[in-house]
Structure 1
Amino acid sequence: MSREVYVPNFIFESSWEVCNKVGGIYTVLSTRAKTLQDKLKDHIMFIGPDVWKEKENPLFEEDASLLKSWRDTAENENLHVRIGRWNVPGHPIAVLVDFQPYFAIKNDIYTRLWEDYGVDSLHAYGDYDEASMFSYAAGLVVESYYNHVLKGQCEHVVYQAHEWMTGLGALYIQKHVPEVATIFTTHATTIGRSIAGNHKPLYEYLFAYNGNQMAQELNVQSKHSIERETAHHVDCFTTVSEVTNRECAELLDKPADVVLMNGFEKDFVPSKAQFARKRREARRKLREVAGALLGTEFDDDVMIISTSGRYEFRNKGIDLYMEAMNRSLRNKDLTRKVLAFVQVPGWVCCPREDLKERLASGKTCDTPLEWPLLTHWLHEMSHDQVIDYMKRYNMWNLPDDKVKVIFVPCYLDGADGIFNMHYYDLLIGMDLTVYASYYEPWGYTPLESVAFHVPCITTNLSGFGLWVNQLLGKDGELTDGVQVVRRTDYNSSEVADAIKDAVTAYAAFTPQEAEKIRHKAADISEHALWKHFIRYYYQAYDIALHKAKQRRGK
């Protein structure tokens, strides 16, 4: 006899990155919002931290008419919330909660958490308190709205919490609002990221690591504890890739119930009518800035490549990208000039005035600027890993150098002072991208790249790379649109060589061959749309709702 499939008729979803663009989780939630909003028609509520306060938040549109009856109830319960819509496709309801009042009672909250679930908050430091008080406040929002609005009206209600920062609230709801089914999603384990970040071998010894022991060694006991206990106690535990699921099984002693791969919506990709123009504009701007910085004119035959993402020099593979460019610089088989951009936000001071003046003049210059390595000045030029690498290996972008590496250490938000274009508006101009990740639970940057018809190189240690291999039924190659390089704890030199060889091979392709590969890259991205991946969420909803029903029946 088949089991009835439960579908939610109301979803709460909380994250530190709701209306608060910090990292990849923002992309997950904001691109998926429309798919759920279309289905649930305002029966979904995103809960985020009210960190902007009186400052204008371009991602949030407050609406005094929304949820008016509950708003008054919340105020009477001393819940300080702002209600409006998230300024993303779908415009779902967003509730931003002020969590500051709960710092006064945090010790009582932590005591109850220890008594109920054995969560160790004694070793908390840094952002632990801030995240936990937000999570507690989010739990109170769910409890209040459910009791005053949904109770008796909606039978299947789900609360999904993202990352350890929301674990406390998920456990609060598990105890105080048992009617609500709970889902916890970890996008990267605290221990896994810490092991990788501390240059310890993660993959070969994963089976031998004890999560609790490593948490003590790496001084992340409290974050690990809330993550581990939430994973064990919620109705459905999920993660974002098979790569991370291995970590969960070994380091949290709990494999995921469902793997929720990260999709995207392609509404940010230019239409066919605009695509060629946008690509020309991007390439013109990239060549113009490079020309002004280096005092060299570049024609459109120059090969433009890049890496981008969070500034984690080893984890994101920036180190191997730099090494591959260093080897390409000395590669006699490379048939084209290469502009290699490093687009990772560092501790930027300001855009370079000398570069701005050259760009504003519109004149062609034949001498490079001083320090022809970067587009923006940094606060600590002598303590930057990209600059250090270039100095150590004499990568000074000399006129005869076949490969010239340019560091763009700022957020490309359209107002950086040099490019004044958004990241996506420059990404479309690339010939090839490289994401040689060592630690990458999913990997939005390569997915975004192929969505813009830009072939990429990534590794099998990224969730995205592993998924591409599964999709293709083999290891991805450059001619497939995504090359997936095998990376281990110890084969860095081999990976750098593979990237160097891929750049050389791509440079030798005819325009027709390159165009064919660009189309294959775009085809791969079509398989990662939310309309394909959303079904995994509905599997998680079903599991959680059934568990919640069993819990209530006890």
Structure 2
Amino acid sequence: MANKRLTPDFIFESSWEVCNKVGGIYTVLSTRAKTLQEALRDKIIFIGPDFWKEQESPYFREETSLFADWQWEAKEQGLKVRVGRWTVPGEPIAILVDFNPYFEKKNEIYGWLWENYGVDSLHAYGDYDEASMFSYAAALVVESFYQWKKENGEWTEKGTKVIYHANEWMCGLGALYLNNHLPQIGTIFTTHATSIGRSIAGNQKPLYDYLFAYNGDQMAGELNMQSKHSIEKQTAHYVDCFTTVSDITAKECVELLDKPVDVVLPNGFDNSFVPSAAKFARKRKAARRKMLDIANALLGEDLDDDTLLISTSGRYEFRNKGIDVFVEAMNRLLRDRDLKKKVVAFIEVPGWVGEPRKDLQERLAQSSKFKAQSSKFNEPLDVPQLTHWLHNMSHDNVLGMMKYYDMHNRKDENVKVIFLPCYLDGNDGIVNMTYYDIVLGNDLCIYPSYYEPWGYTPLEAIAFKVPCITTDLAGFGLWANTVFGHEGQLEDGVKVIHRTDYNYSEVADAIKDTVADFSNMTQKQIETCRKHAEALSKKALWSEFIEYYYEAYDIALRKAKARIEK
């Protein structure tokens, strides 16, 4: 390269999910933090919303000594900030900002946004206002910090290379504010899923076959998404570097936001949470024991370790995450003659959970007393498909579909489906183990997504040596196919099923057949699958993917440099 790549001296990165665990973006940022922190050593600051008035945030540790002079100055300027460390590997600096004071200026801010960037905030509702006020507050934090560094002579306008990285439409307003007020900062915007694409898919409309014909603005009007779509689209057009997380979402951006992305930034992960070989076998055994204990107590059975344990997990988006196809496939598997083992299939998605089942808790307590005899129960509990009671039992999608198919986990059936409708955070009252401590107990994980810009769940599964099934409508599935050079098969560690808008039935059959095939594998074949799964996960470490970020930083810094040299 004739031109040497420009690298940032300082990075600000904002997201609604900094120190705030609500979805997949938390995983993206918190696992990437360590890699950037190692390279930049406290020259990266994450900015998140400060919700933690009364109670302490479990993900944030305040340190009043960090930038103490600036903190004092920020308070003088009326900014309500707390500075500290995000308690994830690498412990990067985080600033939490209280955005509530800006609501009274909301109309003025939206007016400025319309005049300068044509963003339509008239149709705002729900979380739009909250996200926008946070985004504005985050930009004020950057502006204040930048000026402080300049006044102290540490940063010069032309000499210091600064990046502002905004994640999702929620942080768009701040990126546009800085684009306008501090043109010397290079701006990057990442859409992790277009708001309109997710909405089209979630509203049962065909997204992919018809993608070329959709008009994003028109669909935003039809689906009542004008304001979110507007801020997302304008931010994509005005920032220095527009990015997304996979090739599949990049196509959405071109069609729905009328803007091709500059770089695709695939989501890597940090495998420091995968137990070492010595601990792994012990943890896997404990996870399997726990899952089988729950199944036996619920079903009144004596399923042994030869049972195939499979699961799906993620957000409760019934169609988008393919939970419907998962239930369909398990129903078909009930009648499959090639199935050689008993199967317990867990659906681990957080629903509208009421409380853990007392009757199940009692049985589990009883069974741990009598460890010696493996099963104590001959009768199933009522509703043996569910570990926790739900608030909306009669309107729940999973239970409704199982009822429709008459799936009641009967004694003589070889496939049992159990809905575990809560976050596995270690204290749900039934499992009482975290997701990472449970996932490694599976034989097979299944994620038949219809709408999935990337797909962390399959990536986490293979990191724990669990082979998985996904689709080529997930960014991760597409990436796996590219690495393999062919459509992924179970032997590769990841089976990638071709999925379209209309082949739901074929996908369900492919899943059913794959599980049946797996039940016929020898121990040696299974070990090969597990080994290949783990090998693929190593290719998705942040150390491999961070390169794409440096490409994005370079693009943004060059544009900023050109601006201030004009």
Tell me the TM-score normalized by structure 1.
0.99
Counterpart in the other structure of 1:215: 220
In the alignment, does 2:340 pair up with 1:339? no
Counterpart in the other structure of 1:148: 148
State how far apart, in whole Å, the 1-side matches of 2:492 and 2:443 are: 15
Query: Mind listing any 5+ residue stretches in structure 1 that lack a counterpart?
Result: none
In the alignment, does 2:414 pair up with 1:402? yes
Amino acid of the structure 2 residue aligned with 1:531: S
Question: 1:79-158, aligned counterparts within 5 Å?
Answer: 79-150=79-150, 152-154=153-155, 155-158=160-163
Question: 1:10-409, aligned counterparts within 5 Å?
Answer: 10-150=10-150, 152-154=153-155, 155-362=160-367, 364-409=376-421
State how far apart, in whole Å, the 2-side matches of 1:45 and 1:178 are: 19
CA drift of 1:65 comes to 1.0
CA drift of 1:150 comes to 4.9
Query: Hey, which bits of structure 1, 4+ residues long, moved more than 4 A?
Result: none
CA drift of 1:551 comes to 1.4
State how far apart, in whole Å, the 2-side matches of 1:28 and 1:211 are: 26
State how far apart, in whole Å, the 2-side matches of 1:311 and 1:343 are: 9
CA drift of 1:102 comes to 0.2
CA drift of 1:4 comes to 2.8
State how far apart, in whole Å, the 1-side matches of 2:118 and 2:214 are: 21
Counterpart in the other structure of 2:463: 451
Amino acid of the structure 1 residue aligned with 2:70: W
Query: Could you list the per-position Cα deviations for residues 350-371 of structure 1 after superposition, in whole angstroms to 9, with x for gaps in the alignment?
Result: 0000000001112511110011
1:395 partner SS: coil
State how far apart, in whole Å, the 2-side matches of 1:184 and 1:426 are: 35
Q: Is contact 2:338–2:517 with CA below 8 Å preserved after alignment? A: no
State how far apart, in whole Å, the 2-side matches of 1:51 and 1:465 are: 35
State how far apart, in whole Å, the 1-side matches of 2:528 and 2:59 are: 37
In the alignment, does 2:510 pair up with 1:498? yes
Query: Could you list the per-position Cα deviations for residues 272-330 of structure 1 after superposition, in whole angstroms to 9, with x for gaps in the alignment?
Result: 11111000000000000100000001110000000000000000000000000000011
Counterpart in the other structure of 1:523: 535
State how far apart, in whole Å, the 1-side matches of 2:4 and 2:76 are: 40
Query: Could you list the per-position Cα deviations for residues 67-115 of structure 1 after superposition, in whole angstroms to 9, with x for gaps in the alignment?
Result: 1010001000000001110000000000000000000000000000001
State how far apart, in whole Å, the 2-side matches of 1:27 and 1:268 are: 12
1:53 partner SS: coil
State how far apart, in whole Å, the 1-side matches of 2:74 and 2:274 are: 40
CA drift of 1:56 comes to 1.5
State how far apart, in whole Å, the 2-side matches of 1:549 and 1:175 are: 15
In the alignment, does 2:540 pair up with 1:535? no
Aligned residues: 554
State how far apart, in whole Å, the 1-side matches of 2:289 and 2:308 are: 12
CA drift of 1:399 comes to 0.5
Counterpart in the other structure of 1:470: 482
1:365 partner SS: coil
CA drift of 1:475 comes to 0.5
Counterpart in the other structure of 2:448: 436
State how far apart, in whole Å, the 2-side matches of 1:318 and 1:114 are: 40
Counterpart in the other structure of 2:428: 416
Query: Match for 1:479 among 491, 499, 516?
Result: 491
